[in-house]
Structure formats: C-alpha cells, structure tokens
Structure 1
Amino acid sequence: MITGAPETIDGQDHLVLTRTFRAPIQDVWAALTESERLGRWFATWTGDPSTGRVQVTWAFEEDMPTEPYLVEVCEEPTRLRVRNENDDPTQVWTLDLRLAEEAGVTTLRFAQVLTDRSLVTDVGPGWEYYLDRLEESVRTGETATTGWDGYLARSGEYAAAFGLPDDERQTAT
C-alpha cells in the first residue's frame, strides 16, 4: 500500500508523503541534515551548507554519482528545501521537507516537485523505501537495514493514484 499522494502546490504537481516519529523535532531534523545521520538512511554530503550548495553522494543506489544540491530554504528545525543541479530538466529534483512537533510526536511532510508526472512510478516507491529507512534509523539510532525488495511493486498503485493512462503504468513483478 502506498503512502504518497498527488498534490498541486503553487501550480506544480507534487508527490507528498507524510511520516510520523516518536522523537523530538531536533532529532528528526538532525537525521535529515547532518551528513553522518543522513548517511544512515539515504546519502552523505560534503561542503559548507551556509554557502547554499553541497555535494550529495547517494549511499544506497548503484551507479549514482555525487551531485551538487542547492539549499534553497533552511529554517531549522522546521523546513528544508533543496534541489539538485542537472542539465536535464526532467532530472531536477526539488524536495521540500517540513517538520512539526506536537506532544512528543514529530511529523515530516515530504514533497517532491514532479517535472514529469510519469516519474512517480519510480520516485514514489523510491521515497517509500527511503522514508521507511529514515523511520528505522530515527527509531534505532543506527544505519537502516530495510531492503529494497517489494517496493517497486508499488509502481502500479502510484500510477493509478496519479491518474496515469494505462500505457504509462509500469507492471512490477
């Protein structure tokens, strides 16, 4: 079952996923922004974020290069908006993460701009995987062990949720 949903924000299509954590907002913020903590579930970064630019190296993908990311908004501990630089506009990923805490529970609202709606059949299952890894890492304080198996099978659900025509839907096995 998918947890992501389509949403139009400022006239742009987005994939939006929400996760909750029984953890203080500062702990979840650290898991999203500190290179070592981020590396436990997603990627590491190098550079000086105060310059507005870092180099991100994906840790759990094959053949993923290090790529530059621009920090567009950083409002500790509630909002982070970043995007990668890429010559192919369909490969520019703008991510907007918002955190809120109430009664010891922190909620993450994760949104990605979709430059091409059909990409959701890949990125939807991908973010499900990574956000499950984030949950595990925050809960255990360790590097996540959640594996990829089964996530791609959610592609068809994402296609349906985003209203993609049948010929654009991937059939995962």
Structure 2
Amino acid sequence: MTAKATGHYTLKPDGLYLQYDRLFHSPIEEVWFSLTNPTAMQGWIGTYTGRPETGAVRFRMTFEGEGSEWMNVGILECDPPHRFLAHSGEGATAMRVFAHLREAGGMTTLTFGQRLSNPADAATMGPGWDYYLDRLAAVRLSRPLPEWESYYPALADHYKELHVPEGARN
C-alpha cells in the first residue's frame, strides 16, 4: 500500500479541523463497531475502558509506543451509528475529534476530523491520522497493516503546504 495524504482543512464554528473521508463497502453498523468497540479498536488504534454512556472513558493509543498513557476522554456527543464528538486534555495538549458516518447503497462514508489549535500541527497530525485511518481500512479488509515510515515524514510536506482558510489563522 502506498501512503497518500488525504486530509484537508475545514472550518467549523469551534475552530479549524483537519478532516478525512474514507469509504467502506460495509453497513454503517459494522463501521461504527470498528470505531467504538474497545476490542475492535485494538487492531488499528488502541482501546478504552469505562462506559461511554456515562460521558467519559479512559483511552490509550496502543500504537504510540510502549510509553503511551491512558487519557481521560469526554464524550460530548454520541448518536450511534451516525456520529460522535470526543475531547481530551487541556490547553496546548487538548484534542477534539469527531466521526460522522453515512450509509448509501451498501457503502458507508466515514468523515473524521481533529481540531487543530495551530495549523502548523497539521504537519505531524495529518500523516498520523492518514496512518491510523489506513490501519482501520486494512484491519476491516484483513490486509497487512501499513508501516508508519511510509507516512512520516513522507507526507508532512503535503500538510505544511495546505491552504489555511481565511478566518482560521492564529
């Protein structure tokens, strides 16, 4: 698999997001399960403990190396199997992500995004999310997982050169 930069900026009322779209030849419920079930998530990104319906979980990105720590994550919105919005951290380390799913013709489109506090962060965040979303696709298709080295720093220039929408500059 050849790594491709697929992210683009979108401006939302609460800030600038780096957004991605992926198409899956699967029903929406199956893609939702891959995104939200702690066991299914282990194959592509990490896992969580707790009960999302309480509004919070503890999440760990298991492919960030041996030192990856558990993060407290607030579930700000959850409408299965169509969307979720989650937030973790404070200040410069805060992270807000969303996932929206739509199904049509037996295919599901996933639109995923992360809010950026600084557009310069796209140079590292962009390749990272391309990598994780490609891992998700590979796991769902029972294919070999991509190698991180194909994404970073190879895709960083694409994200450095993205045009930042007016009104989004710090």
1:67 aligns with 2:71: yes
Task: Look up the equivalent residue of 1:116 and give its one-letter code.
Answer: N
Shift of 1:12: 1.2
Task: Give SS of 1:69's match.
Answer: strand
Greater RCO (CA < 8 Å, at least 6 residues apart): 2
Tell me the residue number matched to 1:84: 88
Tell me the residue number matched to 1:114: 116
Q: Which runs of 4+ in 1 moved over 2 A?
A: none
The equivalences for 1:17-166 within 5 A come to: 17-62=20-65, 63-86=67-90, 89-140=91-142, 145-152=145-152, 153-163=154-164
Shift of 1:85: 2.4
Q: Find the aligned partners of 1:58 and 1:111 in 2 and give their Cα distance.
A: 17
| TM-score for the superposition, normalised by structure 2 | 0.89
Shift of 1:49: 1.1
Q: Find the aligned partners of 1:11 and 1:60 in 2 and give their Cα distance.
A: 29
Tell me the residue number matched to 2:19: 16
Q: Cα deviations across residues 46-84 of structure 1 (Å, max 9, x unaligned)?
A: 011111110001110122211111101110000011111
Structure 1: 5+ residue stretches without partners: 164-173
Shift of 1:18: 0.4
Shift of 1:37: 0.4
Task: Look up the equivalent residue of 2:155 and give its one-letter code.
Answer: R
Task: Look up the equivalent residue of 2:7 and give its one-letter code.
Answer: G
| TM-score for the superposition, normalised by structure 1 | 0.88
Q: Find the aligned partners of 2:51 and 2:14 in 1 and give their Cα distance.
A: 32
Contact 1:90 1:116 in 2 (8 A): no
Task: Look up the equivalent residue of 1:33 and give its one-letter code.
Answer: T
Q: Find the aligned partners of 2:145 and 2:159 in 1 and give their Cα distance.
A: 24
Q: Cα deviations across residues 79-111 of structure 1 (Å, max 9, x unaligned)?
A: 01111123xx12111001000000011000001
Tell me the residue number matched to 1:170: none
| RMSD value, Cα | 1.4
Query: For residues 11 and 71 of structure 1, do their structure 2 counterparts lie closer, same or farther at Cα, with a shift above 3 Å needed?
Result: closer
Tell me the residue number matched to 1:168: none
Aligned length: 159
The alignment-based identity, stated in percent, is: 30
Task: Look up the equivalent residue of 2:158 and give its one-letter code.
Answer: E
Contact 1:27 1:138 in 2 (8 A): no
Structure 2: 5+ residue stretches without partners: 165-170
